[in-house]
């Protein structure tokens, strides 16, 4: 069987370069989306309920943490608000994922509520700074803001470390599922563009009743549903 010279001459291997580029971009997207680690975080703190006037030890579980590295430089605070925080008296490193933090709570809080939530912060040269909002709730037997101000010893939160690496942010309620946003957001924007284009072609069809515009509107709508 003889080949047609005209077909061979008209064949251009670079005509559909955009298809190869699309495959490469998808491979890059899946690789980066699945292999990029999450930022160091805190998954659990116990006990979650504390009382004033006690020395308490918190068992902390980290995520993607390396507490055994630079363990002498670990710092931790219970933060009440933007101005007030308590530093940990003692930090015991159990392993890379577990810590025991000891805090001395004053007999009163400088706050006019019986129960106050505290945020836990852990700072490490190896992992950067991890934050757990509302980690513990502290209950005071008597509400006396003036006595609390007198008894409170504030520990400044300063010179925090930042880990220089490309990571996904860590969110306690999401964990690894935060990776979904890496794929969900571009798909959502693509869906939005497809639906808007479908509306444009629908308007064109209603103005001139050209079948091609109706077909384009239907095709774009179907593609948008798949993306959604």
Q: Which of 225, 195, 227, 200 is nearest to 214 (CA)?
A: 200
In sequence order, what DSSP letters do the residues of 120-186 get, joined into one string?
A: EEEEETTTEEEEEEEEEEEE-SS--HHHHHHH-------S-----S--BPP-TTTGGGGHHHHHHHH
pLDDT of residue 13: 67
Look up the pTM and report it: 0.77
- Read off the pLDDT band of 179 (50, 70, 90): confident
**What's the rounded mean pLDDT across residues 111-119?**
92
**pLDDT score for 185:** 86
Alpha-carbon distance of 114 to 33, in angstroms, equals 45
Q: What is the pLDDT of residues 29-78, one digit of tens each?
A: 889 988 999 999 999 999 999 999 999 999 999 999 999 998 899 999 99
| Residue 188 to residue 183: CA distance in whole angstroms | 9
pLDDT digits (tens, 9 = 90+) for 47-59: 999 999 999 999 9
User: Has residue 172 got a pLDDT over 90?
Assistant: no
What is the CA angle 49-54-58, rounded to 5?
Answer: 50
Cβ–Cβ under 8 Å, residues 58 and 104? no
pLDDT per residue over 183-217, tens digit each? 888 889 999 999 999 999 999 999 999 999 999 99
- pLDDT score of 121: 97
Residues 116 and 137: their CA atoms lie apart, in Å, by 6
Which range is least confidently modeled, 82-91, 146-155, 217-226?
146-155
- Whole-number pLDDT of residue 159: 92
Q: Quickly count: other Cβ atoms within 10 Å of residue 214's Cβ.
A: 15
Structure confidence at residue 6 (pLDDT): 55
């Amino acid at each position: 069987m003889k080949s047609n010279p005209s077909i061979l001459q008209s064949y251009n291997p670079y005509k559909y370069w955009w298809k190869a580029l699309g495959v490469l971009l998808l491979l890059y997207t899946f690789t980066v989306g699945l292999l990029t680690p999450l930022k160091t975080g805190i998954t659990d703190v116990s006990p979650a309920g504390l009382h004033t006037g006690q020395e308490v030890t918190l068992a902390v579980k980290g995520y993607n943490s390396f507490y055994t590295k630079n363990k002498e430089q670990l710092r931790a605070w219970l933060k009440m608000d933007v101005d007030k925080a308590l530093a940990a008296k003692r930090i015991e490193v159990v392993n890379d994922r577990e810590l025991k933090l000891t805090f001395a709570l004053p007999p009163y809080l400088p706050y006019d509520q019986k129960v106050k939530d505290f945020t836990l912060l852990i700072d490490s040269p190896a992992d950067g700074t991890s934050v757990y909002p509302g980690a513990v709730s502290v209950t005071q037997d008597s509400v006396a803001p003036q006595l609390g101000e007198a008894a409170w010893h504030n520990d400044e939160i300063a010179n925090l470390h930042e880990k220089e690496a490309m990571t996904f942010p860590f969110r306690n309620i999401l964990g690894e599922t935060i990776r979904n946003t890496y794929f969900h957001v571009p798909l959502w924007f693509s869906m939005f563009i497809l639906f808007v284009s479908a509306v444009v072609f629908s308007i064109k069809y209603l103005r001139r009743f050209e079948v091609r515009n109706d077909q384009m509107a239907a095709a774009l709508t179907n593609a948008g549903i798949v993306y959604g």
